[in-house]
Chain A
Amino acid sequence: MPRGLRLDVALTLLVLAALALAPLLGFGANYYLTLFARIMILAAAAVSLSFLVGGAGLASLGHAAAMGVGAYAVAILDAHRLTDITIVLPAALAAAALFSLLTGAIAIRTEGVNFIMITLAFGQMAFFTASSLAAYGGDDGYTLYDRTEIFGSRLMENRLFFHYLCLGFLVLCWGICAMLLASRFGRVLRAARENPLRAQAVGFAPYPYRLLAYVIAGTLAGLAGVLFANATEFVAPAYMSWPRSGELIFMVILGGLGRLSGAILGAVLFVLLETWLPNLTTHWKMIFGPLLILAVLFMRGGLIGVLGARRG
């Protein structure tokens, strides 16, 4: 590994520092804080997906479903007036982990395109299940009565607190995934991604490692979903749909598959573009789409590829 601070990591730290300072530097208006929350939560989900795709080689097209499970845990408990974090957090964690375990146990038996298709199918199953939950808004989605309470306090409604909570979560996600990739566990994942036969020939059956990686990534996404539900105070089936999964994949690829920091940079760029472009024209998606295609075509290795960071 090259010595010193890598450019992509340095830039990511700069972005995180900017997010930390933004509310103090005149970007404290609700409009900005809402935008930042969206960036940070989606970036955290994208980091967990990057861990899965770039680290373990599992290109899931159903990652939004795990995020949606976390969000729906908040909504369903909210409908029963259960809003304290001591209930919401364990429930959301367990639901996202269980969902990932059950779908992953089947999906990871397949590889390549089949894996992509089966994760997509599970994602759509979750989407249609959510759409049919009439008691929790069905197609229309569900508006929360309250944000999640922290030991009875309504701290989450403090926008500044929520801002730093999201930032903390993003940093935590990045740290956890980086730590895992560098560990023994991560080494087996990386080896099995690049050469599964070689991994087996030194004694590692990839399946249990991959399944655990899938559950960890899904659980982190579920946590992101809890924050997302709180940020928007609203939950809808669209949170689980495949376009959202596709967006997450896009953030990862836009930033660069080889590094976790790429997912953060990709998410920032993606959300900023989808926020600014509509100001130019109502047909902004006609610019956004081709822009993304050009980015993939000409920025091999994504943003971090452009920054000159090597794939690792």
Chain B
Amino acid sequence: MFWGRAVADALLSVRGLRKHYGGLAVTNNVSLEVQPGEIHALIGPNGAGKTTLIHQITGTVMPDAGRVIFAGRDITRLSLPQRVHAGLARSFQITSIIAGFSVLENVTLAAQGQSGSSFRFFRAAAGETALNENARAALAEVGLADRASIIAGALSHGEKRALEIAIALATRPKLLLLDEPLAGAGPEETEKLITLLRGLKSRYAVLLVEHDMQAVFALADRISVLAEGRIIASGSTADIRLSAEVRAAYLGEEEVPC
């Protein structure tokens, strides 16, 4: 275990999180930390409990025990929208965009959430230039600037993945929680997305859940390995590559399709 840095420095600190479904401990005393500016990857074989852990960090599932501290604040009992306002943005494993909105409006919606009250009734939201500019900046960041006016449902799969990241960026997060951002992307799209994620490095802290090991080792500063609901290893990419326990639990299965 490598709990080197002091807890106080961590942007996100998960402490002793537990979640049981019946007799099954899906999350079994999980602790992990994400430091400001780092990409922290969370890996683990299927069924390790990654998704349930993510849900507890983002607030869609409440833990049985343990705490989630974010930016020095206990957010364990906050709802998903409240956590977004605290600066925690997430993308979804299965693409979740508003297909009937334009690409731009998907992102302006996110920008709107960070820009005062949305109980405003008189002015047309589409005409709010400040929101639109913030949204366009986020779209430019992910390379979708020229796709702003088309209907989001018409984007290619890779573009939808990029749009999700733009939406997350437009909430002005301190931490991005990316749940398998490369899921379902082809080789070419994967390369683009990795370049995109690398561009975010150091400006945002990222908790990255990903199955693509090449991407994980290319991007991550640190890696935590989850197996059967427990963190079995946590450390630098080099440490993890060398860990026998990790090899046994996970890397040995790398050939097994996700």
Least distance between B235 CB and chain A CB atoms (Å): 30
- Rounded to whole angstroms, the CA-CA distance of A209 and B105 in the bound complex is 18
- The answer to whether A198 touches B125, judged by C-beta atoms less than 8 angstroms apart, is no
Q: Say how far B143's CB is from chain A's closest CB, in angstroms.
A: 20
Smallest CB-CB separation from B99: which chain A residue? A194
Judge if A212 is at the interface, Cβ distance under 8 Å.
yes
Question: In the complex, which of the residues A188, A198, A204 contacts B97, with contact meaning CB atoms closer than 8 Å?
Answer: A198
B96 on the A face (CB < 8 A): yes
**Interface of chain A: mostly helix, strand, loop or mixed:** helix
Assuming the contacts A201-B90, A202-B84, A203-B81, asked whether A182 and B110 have C-beta atoms less than 8 A apart, the reply is no
Structural contact, B123 and A200, CB atoms closer than 8 A: no
CB <8 Å contact, A195 and B105? no
Contacts A183-B125, A184-B125 hold; do A201 and B96 have CB atoms under 8 A apart? yes
A59 to B57, CA, bound (A): 33
- A154 at interface by CB-CB < 8 Å: no
> Does B112 sit at the interface, judged by CB under 8 A?
yes
Contact of B124 among A183, A200, A204 (CB under 8 A): A183
Q: Which of A191, A209, A212 contacts B98 (CB 8 A)?
A: A191
Q: Could you tell me which residues of chain B, from 105 to 164, have a CB within 8 Å of some CB in chain A?
A: 105, 108-110, 112-114, 117-126, 128
A179 touches B (CB below 8 Å): yes
Of the candidates A183, A191, A201, the one whose C-beta lies within 8 Å of that of B123 is: A183
A186 near B125: Cβ-Cβ < 8 Å: yes
Nearest B residue to A186 via CB reads B125
Report yes or no: B96 in contact with A312, Cβ–Cβ below 8 A: no
- Nearest-CB residue, chain A, relative to B86: A203
**B217: A residues at CB distance < 8 A:** none
Expressed in whole angstroms, the Cα–Cα distance for A212 and B114 within the complex equals 21
Residues of A within 8 A of B224 (CB): none
The answer for the CA separation of A187 and B114 in the assembled complex, in Å, is 14
Which residues in window 70-105 of B have CB below 8 A to A?
A: 79-81, 84-85, 89-90, 92, 96-101, 105
Contact of A200 with B96 at beta-carbon distance under 8 Å, contacts A179-B122, A187-B109, A194-B101 already known: no
Give A48 to B166 CA distance when docked, in angstroms. Answer: 34
Of chain B, the residue at the smallest CB distance from A212 is B119
Tally of A-B Cβ pairs under 8 angstroms: 93
- Binary interface encoding of chain A residues 204-224 relative to chain B, with 1 for a CB under 8 A from any of its CBs, else 0: 110001001000000000000
Query: Is A311 at the interface (CB under 8 A from chain B)?
Result: yes
Are A202 and B110 also in contact (CB < 8 A) when A212-B119, A312-B100 are?
yes
- The answer to whether A198 and B124 touch across the interface, beta carbons within 8 angstroms, is no
> Within 8 Å of chain B (Cβ to Cβ): is A238?
no
Contacts of A197 in B (CB 8 A): 92, 96
Contact B171 A202 (CB under 8 A): yes
- Which of B100, B113, B121 sits near A185, CB closer than 8 Å? B121
A3 shortest CB reach to chain B, Å:
12
Which residues from chain B contact A199 at a C-beta distance below 8 Å? 109
B109 touches A191 (CB 8 A): yes
* A185/B124 in contact, CB under 8 A: no
CB of A202 within 8 A of CB of B167, answer yes
Which residues from chain A contact B123 at a C-beta distance below 8 Å? 183-184
Chain B CB within 8 A of A180 CB: yes
Closest to B91 in A: A201
Complex CA–CA separation, A284 to B98 (angstroms): 43
A186 to B126, CA, bound (A): 11
Which residues in window 159-190 of A have CB below 8 A to B? Answer: 179-180, 182-188, 190
A205 to B80, CA, bound (A): 8
In the complex, which residue of chain B has the Cβ closest to the Cβ of A187?
Answer: B125
Give the complex CA separation of A184 and B122 in angstroms.
Answer: 9
Are the CB atoms of A204 and B101 closer together than 8 Å? no
Whether A202 and B125, one on each chain, are in contact in the complex, defined by CB atoms closer than 8 angstroms, is: no
* CB-contact partner of B109 in A188, A205, A311, A312, under 8 A: A188
Contact between B100 and A184 (Cβ–Cβ < 8 Å)? no
State A180–B122 Cα separation when bound (angstroms): 7
B79 touches A194 (CB 8 A): no
Q: Smallest distance from the beta carbon of B247 to chain A beta carbons, Å?
A: 35
Q: Which 5 pairs from chain A and chain B are nearest by CB? A: A203-B113, A203-B84, A202-B110, A184-B120, A182-B124
Q: A190-B100, A195-B96, A197-B96 are in contact. List 20 more A-B contacts (CB 8 A).
A: A180-B121, A182-B126, A184-B119, A185-B121, A187-B105, A187-B109, A188-B118, A190-B101, A195-B97, A198-B167, A200-B79, A200-B80, A200-B84, A201-B96, A202-B84, A202-B167, A203-B81, A203-B110, A209-B118, A311-B100
19 contacts between A and B (CB under 8 A): A184-B112, A184-B125, A184-B128, A187-B118, A188-B109, A194-B98, A195-B98, A197-B92, A200-B81, A201-B80, A201-B84, A201-B96, A202-B110, A202-B171, A203-B85, A203-B114, A204-B81, A204-B113, A205-B79
